[in-house]
Amino acid sequence: MSGGVVRPSLLTVPRGHDGHLPRHYIQESVADSATHARHIANLLEEMKKGHVTASISRQRIMELIADRNSHYARSYPQLLSYVRRDSDRRVDRSTSWESESLPDIQFASGAPLYQVHYDPTDALRDEHLGNLTRVTRMISEQFDFPPGGIKVYLSKYGGIALHVDEEGIRGEVVSEDDLTSEFVPPNHLFVMPYASKRESSYVHELGHYFHAQSHPGAFYDLSRTTWVSDASREIAKKVSDYAASSPSEFIAEVFVKIVTRENVDIDVMEMYRALGGPLPGKRPRLPGWGGIRISGSAGAAG
Ligand SMILES: [Zn+2]
């Protein structure tokens, strides 16, 4: 995550006996706070700033992205929304938000796990939802989803303005916020168009979610924290360069490795555990306890 929700002053407040932030600080800083609501509202506005401007025909753009493995198709999947519109206008932006729950994934109680907010003209929506379903199935093989739903916001064009002409496709960042796919605690997931090509993006963001849910103290503590020793950074680097960028990202990146069943070195796992990283483990099925059901998957639900 890279959100501005957690105030820097949190890092100087007194710690509990276990070295973590006291619970009431966490609740005060997130639950129902005006800052938090403003941050969410701001991100939603930023997500609408991306757009596409084209001076060549839709047919020609279609040809540029026809091969799904081409550079353009992989880098700018959002162009699909542009070519599939019912309009001949040369500029397209996001329109309105709609919201619905993802019907395929429910808690055993019948409550939906995901509430999805999307632009009705987003051609990548179904691809995103398919990814989310697959990723959820994968995660739930090893982890129980905590009770309570997750709000997912899909961005049609992200924070990028794409200019398409005879010379090719150029992207320009038009969002003030650095809009990458992002988790905002306690349960908001912002998803950018490029994530439709990378399932691991969803697992990574859900890694932040599981971290925040399973060890909120450690999660908020680490949110604005950097490595204090080179030795720790070196261990993180074994996972990925992004993992080495901060302890929070380290947790999310290791979570991806666990979910995709890649090998994780012992020292990596020790550090992950020490930082409150969510650990695999399924609770026994008890009457009245949640668990999730995913349509069309035999035995994958918790
Ligand atoms: Zn992250």
Crossing angle between the packed helical segments 34-47 and 23-30, to the nearest 10 degrees: 50
The answer to whether position 140 is within a domain reads yes
How many distinct structural domains can be found in the chain?
A: 1
pLDDT digits (tens, 9 = 90+) for 223-269: 778 888 899 999 999 999 999 999 999 999 999 999 999 999 999 99
Task: Report pLDDT for 273.
Answer: 95
CB-based contacts of 75, cutoff 8 Å, min separation 6? 169, 171, 194
**Other CB atoms closer than 10 Å to residue 163's CB: what's the count?**
15
Ligand 1 center to 298 CA (angstroms): 31
Ligand 1: centre distance to CA 209 (Å): 10
20 Cα: distance to centroid of ligand 1 (angstroms): 21
Measure 47 CA to ligand 1 centroid, in angstroms: 17
CA of 208 to the centre of ligand 1 (A): 7
Q: Integer distance in angstroms from the first to the last C-alpha of the chain?
A: 27
Distance CA 121, CA 91 (A): 14
Q: Encoding tokens for residue 270?
A: 């020790």
**Residue 196 forms part of a structural domain:** yes
Whether 194 contacts 75, CB under 8 Å = yes
Q: Considering the domain boundaries, does residue 54 fall inside one?
A: no
Q: Which domain holds residue 40?
A: 19-45+96-158+177-215+278-294
| pLDDT for the residue 25 | 59
Query: How far is the centre of ligand 1, averaged over its atoms, from the C-alpha of 43 (Å)?
Result: 16
Residue 32, domain member (yes or no): yes
**5 within a domain of the structure (yes/no):** no
The CA 167 to ligand 1 mean position distance, Å, reads 34
Residue 270 CA to residue 210 CA, distance in Å, equals 18
The pLDDT score that the predictor gives to residue 1 is 43
pLDDT in tens, the chain (302 residues): 443 333 333 344 455 555 566 666 565 555 557 778 888 889 999 999 999 999 999 999 999 888 888 888 889 999 999 999 999 899 999 988 899 999 889 988 889 999 999 999 999 999 999 999 999 999 999 999 998 899 999 999 999 999 999 998 999 999 988 788 899 988 999 999 988 888 999 999 999 999 999 998 888 888 778 888 899 999 999 999 999 999 999 999 999 999 999 999 999 999 999 999 999 987 766 655 568 888 854 433 43
Residue 225: per-residue pLDDT: 81
Query: Residue 35's pLDDT is what?
Result: 79
What does the block give as tokens for 257?
Answer: 């490795």
Backbone dihedral region for residue 78 (phi beyond 0: left; psi -120 to 50: alpha; all else: beta)? alpha
The pLDDT assigned to 2 comes to: 41
Phi and psi at 88, nearest 5°, equal -100, 5
Cβ contact 251:272 at 8 Å: yes
Asked whether residue 30 is domain-assigned, the answer is yes
Residue 250 CA to ligand 1 center (angstroms) comes to 8
Contact 250, 275 (CB under 8 A): yes
Spacing of C-alpha 202 from chain mean position: 5
pLDDT in tens, 190-225: 999 988 888 999 999 999 999 999 998 888 888 778
CB 139 within 8 A of CB 206: yes
What is the rounded distance in angstroms from the CA atom of residue 12 to the CA atom of residue 21?
10
Query: Which pLDDT value is given to residue 103?
Result: 86
Structure tokens at 220: 């908020």
Give domain status of residue 266, yes or no: no
Cα 242 to ligand 1 centroid, rounded to whole Å: 8
Q: What does residue 79 show for φ and ψ, rounded to 5 degrees?
A: -60, -20
Residue 285 confidence (pLDDT): 61
pTM, to two decimals? 0.86
245 is a domain residue: no
**What is residue 268's predicted lDDT score, i.e. its pLDDT?**
97
Distance 57 CA to ligand 1 centre (A): 37
Cα of 87 vs centre of ligand 1, distance in Å, is 36
Indicate which CATH number applies to the domain containing 147: 3.30.2010.30
